[in-house]
Amino acid sequence: MSLVPGYPNLALYLDDALLVVNKPAGLPTLIDGFHPDAPYLAGLLGVAYGRVWVVHRLDKETSGVIAFARSAQAHKDLNTQFEQRQASKVYHAMVIGQPDWDEKTVDLPLRPDGDRRHRTVIDQQMGKPAITRLRVLEVYGAYALVEAIPLTGRTHQIRAHLAACGYPLIADRLYGRSGDMHSGSTTGTETIQRLGLHARSLAFFNPLNGQRQTFEAPYPQDFSGALEQLRQGHRPE
């Protein structure tokens, strides 16, 4: 049973240095400045497991694996790994459109808060280097499931890079095209009402023993249900 009321099956791994969890969609990693009284993941975990240190973040609408440190030393160690790109992150993204490639590396510099909608934008002059490796996993007619591996850690990197390639995430109201911004009948995925992005796995060296570990987060019900709808809708007769 989860130690966090209302969020079963949250913890994926726990030791003296680490707490790795499967973040639910809709729950922010940190406190929301606009809604300071609303629950947030780091706060809930701190109550249940004792103080945690934030190492990286996931967007509020993104589900999946996220790691927290349980000591200042572990926090320092993990921060160094993330800064030096020793940590490996794999995301699964449901996108609109059928890519005309099986694999692709996107190398486009990004600048956060680059327009009036506060989006991350492609900026060849002022943007910071950003690289994402993409691989098509499944195709469902006008939609696809894509593996995205960010080699850098820019804000909204995967969303911005996929949109720049012409394949925005399902239900991405910020980076999607005007006719693609909501789910439901438009996308054929009535079971998912949020961003079609899931942090599938995370790998790094455990600060306690130096062993490299990989943690994988199963799909939440809305994500797996949407994939099943897409598969059923595009199976051959």
Q: N- to C-terminal Cα distance for the chain?
A: 42
* Mean pLDDT of all residues in 58-74: 97
Question: 214 pLDDT exceeds 60?
Answer: yes
Structure tokens at 188: 């054929």
Whole-angstrom distance, CA of residue 183 vs CA of residue 191: 9
Residue type, 73: Q
Least confident interval from 59-63, 151-155, 172-176, 177-181: 177-181
* Mean pLDDT of all residues in 108-121: 93
Q: How confident is the model at residue 7 (pLDDT cuts 50, 70, 90)?
A: confident
Contact predicate 162/122, CB 8 Å: no
Q: Give phi and psi for 164, each to the nearest 5.
A: -65, -30
What digits encode the pLDDT tens for the residues 115-135?
989 999 999 999 999 999 999
* Mean pLDDT of all residues in 129-153: 96
Residue 14: how many other CB atoms lie within 10 Å? 13
Whole-angstrom distance, CA of residue 201 vs CA of residue 179: 31
Catalytic residues: 59
Whole-angstrom distance, CA of residue 67 vs CA of residue 65: 7
Q: What pLDDT score was predicted for residue 233?
A: 78
Q: What pLDDT score was predicted for residue 185?
A: 38
Q: What pLDDT score was predicted for residue 189?
A: 61
**SS3 annotation, the chain:** CCCCCCCCCCEEEECCCEEEEEECCCCCCCCECCECCCCCHHHHHHHHHCCCEECCCCCCCCEEEEEEECCHHHHHHHHHHHHCCCCEEEEEEEEECCCCCCEEEEECCEECCCCCCCCCEECCCCCECCEEEEEEEEEECCEEEEEEEECCCCCCHHHHHHHHHCCCECCCCCCCCHHHCCCECCCCECCCCCCCEEEEEEEEECCCCCCEEEEECCCCHHHHHHHHHHHHHCCCC
* Mean pLDDT of all residues in 148-156: 95
Q: How confident is the model at residue 235 (pLDDT cuts 50, 70, 90)?
A: low
* Mean pLDDT of all residues in 132-156: 96
* Mean pLDDT of all residues in 92-116: 95
Q: Which fold has domain 11-233?
A: Pseudouridine synthase (3.30.2350)
